[in-house]
Structure 1
Amino acid sequence: MSMLNAVLRGLLALAFAAAAHAQSDTARQQAMEAAIKAADAVTVAGPSEVKLAAQAVLKLPAGMLYIPQPAAGQLMQAMGNSVDSSLLGLVRGAGDAHWLVVARWEAAGYIKDDDAKDWNVDDLFKSLKEGTEEANKRRKEMGFPALEIVGWVQKPSYDSAAHRLVWSMAARSEGRDADDQSVNYNTYALGREGYVTLNLITARASVEQDKPAAHALLGALQFNDGKRYDDFNSKTDKVAEYGLAALVAGVAAKKLGLIAVILAFFAKFAKVLVLVGAGAIAVVAKLFKRRDTA
């Protein structure tokens, strides 16, 4: 009799757990739908000029859509990402584009770029990998899978004349197939008081197709008069506590968590949205497309 009771208790526990999981997934789906509805209401279509934190202007190209705050933050939170004051907005492509660009302003101060000529990309990779492994502890505490760094998609390159940094890393969530990789394609524009990041998130197989959008956005960003990198005044201005290499190996390691939570979002929603085989950005893109078409 006690054995039967134990089995029944176990079955009941599984039933309650399944019901709770279904309710949780339903709540997440509702949160995503609400976030997309809020984003639709404030989306700015290119060509247009978007002001960024009283620091710069983004001349949004035709065919791209900008989602400002606070709707951008609501959408990020619906995908499981934490949001802070650095988030400026999100850029997505109209139509069938399955990529997302996260725009942030980091008031770090003036970034010295003299270490760019001496950096070793192998050392940067090692540091980035170690930093990600340390950040995985926090991700697991939050219930998200660990993130595995796969390798460079584009090794760090710096344009000292334009003060632009570009680098890209492929990663995947723990337990996912080897081919199921996501990419952070990172572009940075340095200014007098900090820097703007335009972080393209896409699938590994689509990065060559999608990265021109990131470069188009980077080229369309111009700092305001007095806010440019060359306007720096060594007597009065704040200098950042880290150099250019840290934007790849140090600060960036923490922000790679963005990949992990978006991949985790897909893992949780794949069955609910019946979109197995697509990436998380494709999930969001298709939800947006339904409204674009309507």
Structure 2
Amino acid sequence: MKRLIVLMAILFMVFSTAVNAEEDYEWIEGGTSVDLGDMATIDLDPDFIFLDGKNTQQMAEDYGDYVSGLEIGSIFSMDESQTWSVFFDYEEIGHIKDAAKEKIDAKALLKSYKDGAEEDNKTREPGERFYVTGWDIEPHYDEETHRLTWSLLLEDENNVTFLNYNTLLLTREGNISVVLVTDPENREADKKMLNEQIMSKLEVTAGNRYEDFDKSTDKVSEQGLNALILGGAGLAVAKKVGILGVILVFAKKFGVLIVAGLAALWGFIRKKKKKPISFEQEVVATEEDEEKDPLNK
């Protein structure tokens, strides 16, 4: 019981600023159309909630995650049993001309990912490091939808596997990045949700579509598909590792395994339609659950 109280207190100290700031986010509830900057719109599912680019950046800062400045929105589920999240970025790097003709070198890309992760680990403290273990889905490009898709498998130092399912939607002079943060166990169900309930309802605004490219006036990118995939690696990993790294550091420092951290954070997010609950009430509720199930002690 004491260990539980210590654990909750640690989480409270680390994330209290974030939780307080969460009340200032401008949440948009589902059942309406939302804007991804001026690049696209989405008919938001009634069971989802949305943050625009500004609020997505603020939330990332509050939770200690990486902020690129390219964020244009994020979507979360109101269902507490769902642990996925989706992030949208837009980068104007120019038009990827004749993308379908480019050969994607999955083998070379994987080696670059692994080498990059090893280099990055040299700057991380023990407990914060992660490793690229292989492709979950090898990168491929769909000429009809102008979508580039791939998914990497990663592990932390405790051999916990996670992944980022990435989709890049090519536009007139750039690309919209869609990152689904999930885990291998739920990837297929979450990917289906992404395609059926989000991507199918995403519309690039008129004038910004890939087909709207005007060779007489528009910028052509010097990058290709391979470069786009490598460029998205660090951002995609950071969206998962940033907050996970903080949790692992405190787990090591205090000698307790903090497994409830991410769930607790998303729990705060999903309570936007519910009556607010205080931190003290959270602790009491957890203690009551533990008393009902002594094996959790």
Distance 1:133 1:116 in 2: 32
- Supply the RMSD in Å over aligned alpha carbons: 2.9
Which of 100, 116, 128 is the aligned partner of 2:113?
A: 128
Is 1:58 paired with 2:42?
Answer: yes
Distance in 2 (alpha carbons) for counterparts of 1:254 and 1:145: 15
Q: Distance in 2 between matches of 1:247 and 1:164?
A: 12
Query: What does residue range 222-261 of structure 1 map to in structure 2 within 5 Å?
Result: 222-248=203-229, 250-255=230-235, 256-261=237-242
Deviations 1:12-45 (A, max 9, x none): xxxxxxxxxx998654321221232223xx2112
Letter in 1 for 2:173: E
**1:94 and 2:78 are equivalent in the alignment:** yes
Partner of 2:218, secondary structure, is coil
Contact 2:137/2:150 (<8 A) preserved: yes
Compared CA separation, residues 195 and 169, structure 1 to 2 (3 A)? same
SS of equivalent residue, structure 1 residue 158: strand
User: How do 1:157-236 and structure 2 match up within 5 A?
Assistant: 157-173=140-156, 175-176=157-158, 178=159, 180-215=160-195, 216-236=197-217
Q: Does 1:154 align with 2:137?
A: yes
**Matched residue, 1:277:** 259
**Paired residue total:** 264
Q: Deviations over 1:181-233 (max 9, x none)?
A: 22111111110011111111122322122222322322222111111101111
8 Å contact from structure 2 (residues 29, 46) kept in 1:
yes
Aligned pair partner of 1:38 in 13, 24, 27: 24
Partner SS state of residue 108, structure 1? coil
TM-score (norm 2): 0.78
What's the secondary structure of 2:23's corresponding residue? Answer: helix
Matched-pair contact (CA < 8 Å) for 2:162–2:184? yes
Q: Alpha-carbon deviations, 1:133-167, whole Å to 9, x = none?
A: 334445x28x9822201221212121101101211
Instruction: Determine the C-alpha separation between the residues in 1 that align with 2:127 and 2:219.
Output: 36
Report if aligned partners of 1:116, 1:244 keep a CA contact under 8 Å in 2: no
Percent of matched pairs sharing the same residue: 29
Q: Which residue matches 2:286?
A: none
Against the structure 1 CA distance between its residues 275 and 101, is the aligned structure 2 distance closer, same or farther, given a 3 Å change threshold? farther
TM-score, with structure 1 as normaliser: 0.79
Structure 1 equivalent of residue 278 of structure 2: none
Q: Distance in 1 between matches of 2:127 and 2:72?
A: 25
Give, in angstroms, the shift of residue 94 of structure 1.
1.0
Counterpart amino acid of residue 201 in structure 1: V
* 2: CA distance, partners of 1:57 / 1:144: 39
- Structure 2 stretches lacking a partner, 5+ long: 1-7, 276-297
Matched, 1:109 2:90: no
Q: Distance in 2 between matches of 1:158 and 1:283?
A: 37
Per the alignment, do residues 67 and 144 of structure 1 end up closer, same or farther by CA in structure 2, a change over 3 Å counting? Answer: farther
Q: Aligned in 2, Cα 1:113/1:146: closer, same or farther, shift over 3 Å?
A: farther
Instruction: Find the counterpart in structure 2 of residue 13 from structure 1.
Output: none
Match for 2:117: what amino acid?
T
Q: Partners in 1 of 2:107 and 2:233 — Cα distance?
A: 15
CA contact (8 A) 1:111 1:239 kept: yes
Cα distance in structure 2, aligned partners of 1:113 and 1:219: 24
